[in-house]
Amino acid sequence: MDTLTLILYVAFAPLLGGLLAGVDRRITARMQGRFGPPILQPFYDVVKLFNKENLVVRRSQTVYIIFFLAFMVFTGGIFYAGEDLLLVIFSLMLANTFLVLAAYKGSSPYSAIGAERELLQIMAYEPMVLFYVVGIYMASKTFYIETIATTQHPMLIRFLPGIFLGFLYVLTIKLRKSPFDLSTSHHGHQEIVKGITTEFTGPSLGLIEITHWYENVLLLGMVSLFFAPNLWLGAGVALAIYLLEIFIDNACARARWQFTVFSSWVVAAVLGFGNILALTLFG
């Protein structure tokens, strides 16, 4: 974990993320009894988007989107460079905030509602993410990802089964999967069309897409951290988890926001807090 991984991340995360998205769409199609698009479809989409006109409602929108991308790359970068986990979490949140701001600038009712829902989602998953940081710290006694990943100690998940499950729960929100694809989803949906991304066109939308790829790779990295120091196992499990998420996506109706928020909090309280309590008492 050093500058090399940092460079690898910046260069290859979009490739990996895009590929994952492509596999995701293909598997989803198969689950739905369809043949599905080519695996490289997400790349075609993005290339197409960069070939389109950029119609913006306000110029600041694009600026916010560039910040969104920049902060996401920064967040992933410091994660894969092995920096401070706390910093990762907060800059991740900051990145997401830029997306919300950009959507608010869009000034259409759909994107406003989408932005509002994005905030509700942030509210829903944030407690669990904080428990994740605390849990990792308590199990490994450090915030430094490099130290967590490289020092020899028993696999973290042995101390953090509750946090692991809780994190999976909110991962569904973060990956924008049904039942928690409230603010936007891969398909425009009936309540709010494309929600938070409604007002973006062409290149801006392409940037958002790429940012999501960075984000997904980062999230999978966060999952594999549970298996430190055996990171290969971690990566394997992370991929398996991604498949599981695809399955869940295809097997659930979309929940209402109330359920999303409260169930996430309950999960955070029971699994997250419970696990931390147990660590404190017996750790």
Partner 1 sequence: MQKSPWIIHYDGSSCNGCDIEVLAALTPMYDVERFGVINTGNPKHADIFLITGSVNEQNKAVIKNIYDQMPNPKVVMAVGICACTGGIFRECYNVLGGPDKVIPVDLYVPGCAARPESIIDGVVKALELWEGKRRKRTGRESIQT
Partner 2 sequence: MPFFTISKTILRSLFGRPATLMYPAVPREYVEGSRGHIEIAVESCSFCSLCQRKCPTEALSVDRETKIWKIDRLRCIACNFCAEACPKKCLSMATGYSPAVTSPGETEEHHA
Partner 3 sequence: MRTIIPFGPQHPVLPEPIHLDLVVEDETVVDVIPSIGFIHRGLEKLVEKKDFQEFVYVAERICGICSFIHGMTYCHGVEQLMKIEVPPRAHYLRTVWSELSRIHSHLLWLGLIADAFGFESLFMHSWRLREKVLDIIEATTGGRVIFGSCKIGGVRRDIENGTLREIAAKLRDYAVEYKDLGNVFLNDLTVKRRLCGVGVLSGPDALGLGSVGPMLRASGVAQDMRLLKYAAYGGIDFAPVTAEEGDSYARCAVRIGEIFQSVEIIRQCSEKIPGGAIEIKVTGLPEGEFYARTEQPRGEVIYYIKANGTKNLERLRVRTPTFANIPPMLKIMTGCQLADVPVLVLTIDPCISCTER
Residues near ligand SF4 (CB under 6 A) are: 187-190
Q: Choose, by CB under 8 A, the member of 64, 79, 200, 273 that binds partner 1.
A: 200
User: Considering the rule CB under 8 A, would residue 33 count as an interface residue with partner 2?
Assistant: yes
Is residue 3 exposed (0-12), middle (13-18) or buried (19+ Cβ within 10 Å)? exposed
Of 32-40, 71-79, 123-131, 224-232: span binding partner 3 (CB under 8 A): 32-40
Per-residue b/e over 179-192, b at no fewer than 16 CB within 10 Å? Answer: bbbbbbbbeeeeeb
Is residue 153 exposed (0-12), middle (13-18) or buried (19+ Cβ within 10 Å)? middle
Give the number of other CB atoms < 10 A from CB of residue 75: 24
User: Considering the rule CB under 8 A, would residue 33 count as an interface residue with partner 1?
Assistant: yes
Rounded distance between C-alpha atoms, residue 58 and residue 156, angstroms: 46
Rounded distance between C-alpha atoms, residue 185 and residue 197, angstroms: 9
Q: Choose, by CB under 8 A, the member of 187, 256, 258, 282 that binds partner 1.
A: 187
In angstroms, what CA-CA distances link 256 with 8, 30, 117, 186, 253? 39, 27, 10, 18, 10
Q: Choose, by CB under 8 A, the member of 166, 179, 195, 221 that binds partner 3.
A: 179
Structure tokens belonging to residue 12: 């290859």
User: Considering the rule CB under 8 A, would residue 50 count as an interface residue with partner 1?
Assistant: yes
Rounded distance between C-alpha atoms, residue 54 and residue 78, angstroms: 31
User: Considering the rule CB under 8 A, would residue 34 count as an interface residue with partner 2?
Assistant: yes
Q: Per-residue x/- marks for partner 1, 114-153, CB under 8 A?
A: ----------------------------------------
Instruction: Pick between residue 26 and residue 105 the one whose CB is nearest to ligand SF4.
Output: 26
Rounded distance between C-alpha atoms, residue 243 and residue 260, angstroms: 21
Selection from partner 3, partner 2, partner 1, none that 253 binds (CB < 5 to 8 A by kind) is: partner 3
Q: ω before 229 within 30° of 0 (cis)?
A: yes
Of 250, 281, 255, 276, nearest to 36 by C-alpha is 250
User: Considering the rule CB under 8 A, would residue 250 count as an interface residue with partner 2?
Assistant: yes
Selection from partner 2, partner 3, ligand SF4, none that 141 binds (CB < 5 to 8 A by kind) is: none
Instruction: State the nearest-atom distance from the C-beta of 55 to partner 1, in Å.
Output: 5
User: Considering the rule CB under 8 A, would residue 243 count as an interface residue with partner 1?
Assistant: no
User: Considering the rule CB under 8 A, would residue 193 count as an interface residue with partner 3?
Assistant: yes
Instruction: Pick between residue 127 and residue 203 the one whose CB is nearest to partner 1.
Output: 203
Q: Choose, by CB under 8 A, the member of 23, 29, 93, 278 that binds partner 2.
A: 29
Rounded distance between C-alpha atoms, residue 1 and residue 193, angstroms: 41
Give the number of other CB atoms < 10 A from CB of residue 229: 16
Enumerate binding residues for partner 1 (CB under 8 A): 25, 29, 32-38, 41, 43-45, 47-55, 187-188, 193-194, 197-202, 205
Enumerate binding residues for partner 2 (CB under 8 A): 27, 29-36, 247, 250-252
